[in-house]
Amino acid sequence: MESADSLNNPLIKVGRSGIGQLYFINMNILHLLIPFYLVFTGCNLFNTGNDQEKFEPTFRAEINGEIFDITQVKVPLGRYNAVLSTQGAYSYLAVFGDFFSENLFPYKEQISFLLAYDANKSKYSSALDSIQVDEFSYRRIGGLYYESDGDAPVSRYSSDVNDNGYIFVEIELLDNGEKVIYGTFEFIAIVDSRVDKYSQRVDQDTLHITNGEYRLLLDDRREE
């Protein structure tokens, strides 16, 4: 004998009424749930997902008119980094991009710039200089270019002390707490040393690094 409660309970009656009534009740439940689903998820239906998009780094320039675009090649042929660290009384920024040769690997070229970062400043000189971080240590600042073959140095170029180039720096805080550093740069680099046998720029004592542009995730290692 079934109880009065079981006879009046539509979910229990389903077992007695067959597949047709089960389908009818399930559809009614579905119609009731859809509005609640839209209320709780509707805000995401039209979300462009900008905050979820994968970050796309940029590091490009021209070297004597030749394209140097690291972000257009795949790792390990392209590598880049931006590090902000505490060096003595300074916030020391190092930004670099490595471009590895596919045919001459592990030969690579590197463009980099180093500077004493100031949160109240966005334009910096690219002229070669140095800062003293303790009684015995100095850090170079300015624009640089390197060639190397694996761990073996091939050439080094530096911006001149009177170089009139520039480095622009801006830092943006993302919603996820990460920092993005971006800007532009141009400078002239003059050869300091070079092993002609291995250098791909043996006939270029001066490098005009122009149309520099970068946008990278910042590795901020400063002490809070």
How much is the pLDDT for 82? 97
Q: State phi, psi for 78 to the nearest 5 degrees.
A: -130, 135
Q: Which residues are registered as beta bridge partners of 179?
A: 173
Q: Which residues constitute the domain of residue 179?
A: 50-220
Q: Answer whether 155's CB lies under 8 Å from 193's CB.
A: yes
63 shares its domain with 35 = no
20 shares its domain with 107 = no
105 shares its domain with 59 = yes
Average pLDDT along the chain, 224 residues, taken 10 residues at a time: 46 46 47 46 44 78 95 73 95 95 90 97 97 94 96 96 96 94 98 93 96 97 79
User: What is the pTM (predicted TM-score) of this model?
Assistant: 0.74
Q: Which run of H or of E encompasses 130?
A: strand 129-132
Q: State phi, psi for 36 to the nearest 5 degrees.
A: -65, -40
How much is the pLDDT for 162? 92
199 shares its domain with 151 = yes
Q: Answer whether 98's CB lies under 8 Å from 108's CB.
A: yes
How much is the pLDDT for 40? 43
93 shares its domain with 200 = yes
